[in-house]
Amino acid sequence: MTTEKGSKVPTSRLARFGGLASLVGRVAGGMLAEGARQLAQGQKPGLQQMLLTPANAQRVATQLSQMRGAAMKLGQLLSMDAGDLLPPALTAILSQLRANASPMLPAQLAALLQQQWGPQWQRNFSHFAFSPMAAASIGQVHQANHDDGSALAVKIQYPGIATSIDSDIDNVATLLRLSGLLPEGIALQPLLTEAKQQLHKEADYQQEAAYLQRYRQLLADDPNFLLPTVYPELSTRQILTMGFVEGVPVEDLLSQPQALRDRVMSLLFLLLFKEIFEFRLVQTDPNFANYRFNVQTGQLVLLDFGACRDYSAAISQGYRLLFQALLQNNAELQLQALQQIGYFSAIDIAPAQLQAVMALVSLAAEPLQQQGAYDFATSDLASRMREAGMQLSQQLQNWHTPPVDALFLHRKMAGLFLLAKTLKARVDVRTLLLPFIDTSI
């Protein structure tokens, strides 16, 4: 259960922009104070040293946490996608935004529940805990009991979030640049576009309920997974009511035997391949909090379906060809597959650009190409990928952004790689993939 002190969620555009504008002022004030401190010590302060202090980074994180919604989501995306390009002080603070937010005040919560469920809403419950057990970027989760006694998890969206997404993200990006906390070299536009698209989807809880129902049907015959049930009569566009599912955080499994950690990660990689090639529906959010483990039943619990994305047959087949090409080290087939996915759509792609991107994709496929289990614990693949990616972005000035479908899917894959490394798992990814690949090509 969260122990964060509650704060009111700003709902008007003026209030939300005012909070961001005041942030710039506080950052500037902190910058002047740091400059004066260094001058008093006989040092000549540099601009970056004055801006990138832990205190300024904390001011940014606190403001984004209080605003929640798209503002906080952009902080999450920056910490995950651009973390290696950001100053360490800012990266460390922004990483805290991935799972924790400040819950809304009880009075604001009560008003929202009455607005969504009506004045007699409490008649539906034998118990409702006003203190949330979790608070994240666009909503908080409460434990409750149905009037029939069933344990429930009620996800409640912060007020004003859905209508402030586009303006929030644009304002935060502008003000982060103005504050000087964001280095000039970061290509932010793909992150902004993705953040807006993802947040609009995640803000529609009725759509999330529909995605959850689809996954329950798709995995109905698989005893390895446990998904919550939906209570549609107690769900709205801003409230999603589900059955409560027991489980420990998946990262807590690090203390469990190697075989269990290997099994959990094998299940997640197998699920990803099913999502791409069978379901053509992928839950694209890599947040560890979306997975829990039920110790009593030995099942992997799947939560949060707001960031699901449907994939076309052409894209699915493109990835089938790509994985096949990578397994065979077939450069011609790899190029064909990448073009089908949507890469190299511009007519002015230089040969050096093409080869550099293909080399980066081949590097990412290292776990697929290994015979037997890949040891994520000892792998330095992530650092090699970061280095190669930074070199690519610096050397290839005219390289275009990858297609949106690929951006979502690649983040999901990167998230699984990170979780596998966190759990020190060993996974035979190649063997899990082979049933989905046409080896006759």
C-alpha Rg value of the chain to the nearest Å: 23
Tell me which of 81, 168, 285, 405 is the catalytic residue.
285
Cα 24 to Cα 59, 170, 175, 399, 406: the distances in Å are 9, 15, 7, 32, 34
* Residue 310 among the catalytic residues: no
- List residues with catalytic annotation: 285
